[in-house]
């Protein structure tokens, strides 16, 4: 483990996180044990082991649940749990996952409860959104959150990859698990009732009134004060779970990024496959670089062709202000991760584009002053070194046709996203 940043740096970041106006639902807790899992080779054995050892309940939410060797292995573990009398619930997305997988019939027969988020529809009962979250909850004791779908690491839309996807998940055990449970329960009831987030007051699903809203908010604030009081009492590692959807907490994950980058002192490392953030996040990265912060971006490629053309349009202004950029093509970069000053990190499902930041249901974990940050820090730096660096002079000398195509792709994407998000994407 490499050394953490000096206490001075951590205290400034901690004060920024816990004072003033905090990002919605970003509630830190201490006393959590977390484990960073790199790729499916570490994630799937850990997940299946937890499912096989479950005693009460298993809850799983994913965008993709594939009918491949990995998907069948996880499905078999879910079925084994249900046959032991464990309460097993699974949420899959109506577009990300095929609706007629053979395992779904088996689940129904063996007692695995399964619900589909917005089945077959871009705009359905839950509004214009998808669930892109990757969550698992075992016995309300262990929680998994990250960017890894239930799919073979070497499969990319039917094409066999030479190397496994570059991706991460986090296993957590401790107080933060309660927040993951609440998020899953809300999603489960939301799908059952066929309602949008704002129509559902609490997981109990009673009709929402002004009095119940105020009571719920007072209880939430009391919990936050208690948790923040515990964290202020002593400098220690802390963890927060942050979820967003297209009606509640729309900017929660983006605000978490913005606050951390705004208080960066020495380094910002960011890796993401879909890098098409709005002006606020781009401005935050530029301002950090102007302050002398070493800002390094690892951009994934060859997953979504339109973004391969559109994203480079953003490079010019970033490079001009000293932001370092590396395009990663060794394999599919699917991780959505960041590290700031080796004191702050996030791992989750949220890409940095309009769909993830404004439209989709997403979930991230945020770590502060935690030893597991060191491993993620090193992994992002290694990916940056293994990628193709973007040189400012070479970028400026691109052929006119390439620049025109990039301009067209970016503006087309931006126009489409502003229409889809009803002007929310900036």
Give me the active site residues, please: 132, 134, 139, 334, 336, 341
The distance from CA 271 to its chain's CA centroid, rounded to whole angstroms, is: 12
Rounded Cα distance between 183 and 203, Å, is: 9
C-alpha closest to that of 62 among 124, 109, 122, 114: 114
C-alpha closest to that of 135 among 42, 197, 47, 53: 47
Tell me if 369 sits within 8 A of 238, measured CB to CB. yes
Rounded Cα distance between 26 and 242, Å, is: 5
Rounded Cα distance between 395 and 200, Å, is: 49
Rounded Cα distance between 96 and 35, Å, is: 27
Rounded Cα distance between 156 and 159, Å, is: 5
Return all residues near 267 (Cβ < 8 A) that are at least 6 apart.
Answer: 293, 294, 295, 296, 339, 340, 341, 342
Neighbours of 111 (CB within 10 A): 15
Strand partners, 345: 339, 367
| Structure-token match 């070479």, residue found | 394
């Amino acid at each position: 483990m490499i050394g953490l940043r000096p206490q001075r740096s951590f205290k400034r970041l901690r004060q920024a996180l816990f004072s003033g106006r905090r990002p919605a639902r970003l509630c830190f807790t201490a006393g959590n044990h977390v484990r960073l899992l790199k790729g499916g080779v570490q994630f799937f054995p850990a997940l299946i082991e937890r499912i096989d050892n479950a005693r009460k309940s298993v809850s799983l939410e994913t965008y993709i649940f594939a009918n491949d060797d990995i998907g069948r292995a996880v499905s078999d573990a879910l079925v084994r749990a249900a046959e032991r009398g464990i309460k097993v619930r699974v949420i899959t997305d109506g577009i990300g996952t095929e609706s007629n997988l053979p395992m779904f019939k088996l689940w129904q027969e063996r007692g695995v409860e399964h619900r589909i988020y917005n089945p077959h529809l871009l705009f359905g009962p839950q509004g214009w959104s998808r669930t892109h979250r990757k969550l698992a909850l075992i016995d309300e004791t262990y929680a998994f959150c990250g960017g890894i779908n239930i799919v073979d690491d070497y499969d990319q839309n039917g094409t066999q990859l030479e190397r496994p996807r570059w991706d991460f998940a986090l296993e957590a055990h401790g107080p933060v698990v309660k927040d993951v449970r609440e998020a899953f329960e809300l999603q489960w009831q939301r799908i059952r009732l066929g309602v949008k987030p704002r129509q559902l007051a609490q997981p109990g699903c009673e009709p929402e009134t002004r009095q119940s809203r105020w009571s719920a908010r007072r209880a939430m604030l009391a919990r936050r004060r208690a948790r923040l009081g515990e964290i202020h009492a002593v400098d220690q590692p802390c963890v927060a779970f942050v979820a967003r959807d297209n009606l509640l907490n729309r900017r929660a994950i983006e605000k978490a990024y913005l606050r951390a980058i705004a208080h960066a002192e020495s380094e910002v490392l960011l890796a993401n496959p879909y890098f098409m953030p709005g002006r606020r996040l781009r401005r935050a990265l530029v301002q950090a670089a102007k302050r002398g912060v070493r800002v390094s971006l690892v951009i994934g490629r060859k997953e979504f062709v339109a973004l391969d053309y559109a994203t480079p349009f953003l490079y010019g202004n970033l490079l001009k202000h000293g932001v370092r950029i590396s395009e990663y093509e060794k394999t599919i970069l699917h991780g959505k991760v960041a590290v700031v000053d080796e004191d702050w990190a996030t791992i989750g499902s949220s890409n940095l584009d309009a769909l993830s930041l404004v439209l989709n249901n997403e979930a991230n974990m945020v770590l502060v002053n935690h030893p597991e940050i060191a491993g993620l820090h090193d992994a992002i730096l290694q990916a940056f070194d293994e990628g193709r660096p973007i040189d400012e002079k070479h970028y400026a000398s691109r052929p006119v046709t390439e620049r025109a195509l990039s301009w067209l792709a970016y503006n087309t994407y931006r126009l489409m996203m502003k229409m889809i998000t009803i002007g929310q994407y900036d």
